[in-house]
Amino acid sequence: MTLLRLLGDLRIDDIRFISCCDILFTDCGAPRRDSRTVQSGDVFFCLRGASIDGHDMIADAVKRGASCVIVDDPRYSDTIPVPWVCLYDVSACYLSACLSYYEHPEQGMTLIAVTGTNGKTSVVYMIEAMLSADPRFSPCAVFGTVENRIAGVPLPSSHTTPPPEELARLLAKAHAAGVRSVILEASSHALEQNRLARLRFSCGIFTNLTEDHLDYHKTMENYFQSKRKLFSACDLCLFNTDDPHGKRLADDPTFSLHHVRFAVSASTFSDADIYPSDISTDAEKTTVSLCSDRFGDAALTVPLSGTFVAANLTAAAACCRAIGVPWESISSAIRTMHSIPGRMERLLADPFYVFLDYAHTPDALSRAIRSLHAMRTDPTQRVLVLFGCGGDRERQKRPMMGAIASTLADVCIITSDNSRSEDPFAIISDIMCGVSEQNIHKCQVVPQREEAIRVLLSAARKRDLVLLAGKGHETYQIDRQGKHPFSERSIVSEYIEAHKTAPPL
């Protein structure tokens, strides 16, 4: 492949300088952003990261055989012993080069992206299930937090949104497997870092925006603006107008001609294109009756629990109807959908219920606990909650989560959750600052998470509802010593097996 072909998607206003026009017609290898992966003939892109500047790695990349270097400042030209190209924004062009290298495997596919603080994984899995019932959109591929999956074959995931070179490689695999639709989670980090730049989506979905990742974005406005970037690259936009940020997007003239508004709150129904007139949920399933002058009405039942399921189901159904999937296909597909790993995932139904959920923000924790309350069928059932907060992340949300859990739960155990470089006791102390005197009697501190789970399970009575919050799909714990295997599913299973002969009363 020539360098001209590799950079073929660049616009004339992307390029500042070229060291020599002849280099555009020379053969080159793969685009690389990590100098350690460079092989002979590759093209090294100097991306600027939070802690590493690719321009500082030019010498290493050339030593390893880079045939060309892509920079964003011509001042580096005097120190580069190989041909170079200077762009205005290297990061905005890197994914394009990666896709060019794989002969643009995304072309001809239906690409759908979901962004928001909470609900991304659930919406992606629901859309996958719905599209799989329509041969025009099946087979599907999913790229996200829990795993990457191509035509039903699971692949490991290291990021919520794959880095550009990995995303291009996954799209190439999907193309080879005959995939017709790709649904991916678009994180605010990926959008801010231009990891999806120049990729065009058939549909983009905004779920909600609540406090999270402010250690990176600093302000909610910055966080919002990162999310907003997605919708300039979408043919159709779906906005949750229950959320003020979603309403803000829907009212933005930029997106006025190609958007769908969805809502689950009665106060915003008058402004919505699709909404549920009735929602019922229990520990086994959720049923939603959807109304829409634009798409028609339908009643959908999904074997997932939680009041927030209705919003995710409405978003997914609106997306699939908007691109042409019939209600009949959506309804039949969603009725037999498998549980979503770590998203209000039911691990146990007898002698009490145990749910695993990834809730690690104040809003997500509140929604999860309130969902358990909504599942109760008699007043004797209690809601028991275990949670912690991650280390080296936003300290300000710790007391908020302490206040939420201690107020809403009948029994609350505070423990560790990926303490990373921090002292677990310091994190727990921050959480406890949010617990009021009137709720302190409901709380217990058990720093070791495995022990905390056993303590909580031993406190559960028949038909109680137990929530293990924070880890979700994760199968590890991270502390000062590193990353260790840790499976909450196994801990629950082992506890129940050991107590089979004497179940809780």
Mean pLDDT over 357-374 rounds to 94
pLDDT higher than threshold 90 for residue 426: yes
Partners of 114 in beta bridges: 185, 205
Per-residue confidence (pLDDT) for residue 500, from 0 to 100: 78
Query: How many CA atoms lie within 13 Å of 51's alpha carbon, on the beta-carbon side?
Result: 1
Cβ–Cβ < 8 Å for 355, 468: yes
Could you read off the pLDDT of 472-501 as tens digits, one per residue? 999 999 999 999 999 999 999 999 999 875
User: What is the third-level CATH fold of 110-335?
Assistant: UDP-N-acetylmuramoyl-L-alanine:D-glutamate ligase (3.40.1190)
Cα–chain center distance at 228? 15
Give the pLDDT confidence of 60-96 residue by residue, as tens digits.
999 999 999 999 998 888 889 999 999 999 999 999 9
Q: Which CATH architecture has domain 345-498?
A: Alpha-Beta Complex (3.90)
**Which residue from 268, 252, 251, 315 is spatially nearest to 288, judged by alpha carbons?**
315
Q: Which of 94, 17, 16, 30 is nearest to 66 (CA)?
A: 30
In CATH, the number for domain 3-98 is: 3.40.1390.10
State yes or no: pLDDT of 504 exceeds 60: no
Q: What percent of the chain has pLDDT over 70?
A: 99
DSSP conformational letter for 156:
-
DSSP-derived pairing of the beta strands 153-155 and 345-348: unpaired
Inform me whether the pLDDT recorded for 306 exceeds 90: no
Which residue ranges make up each domain of the chain? Answer: 3-98, 110-335, 345-498
**Cα 290 to Cα 205, 260, 331, 480, distances in angstroms:** 18, 14, 11, 48
pLDDT at 211 over 90: no
Element (DSSP H or E) covering residue 226: helix 220-228
Question: Above 90 in pLDDT, residue 168?
Answer: yes
CA-CA distance, 112 to 65, in Å (whole number)? 37
**Whole-number average pLDDT of the chain:** 94
What's the whole-number mean pLDDT along residues 103-110?
97
Does the pLDDT value for residue 174 go beyond 50?
A: yes
pLDDT of residue 338: 87
Q: What is the pLDDT of residue 50?
A: 81
* Section 429-443 average pLDDT: 97
Confidence of residue 370 (pLDDT cuts 50, 70, 90): very high
What's the mean pLDDT in 95-109?
96
pLDDT score at 505: 41
What is the model's pLDDT at position 501?
Answer: 57
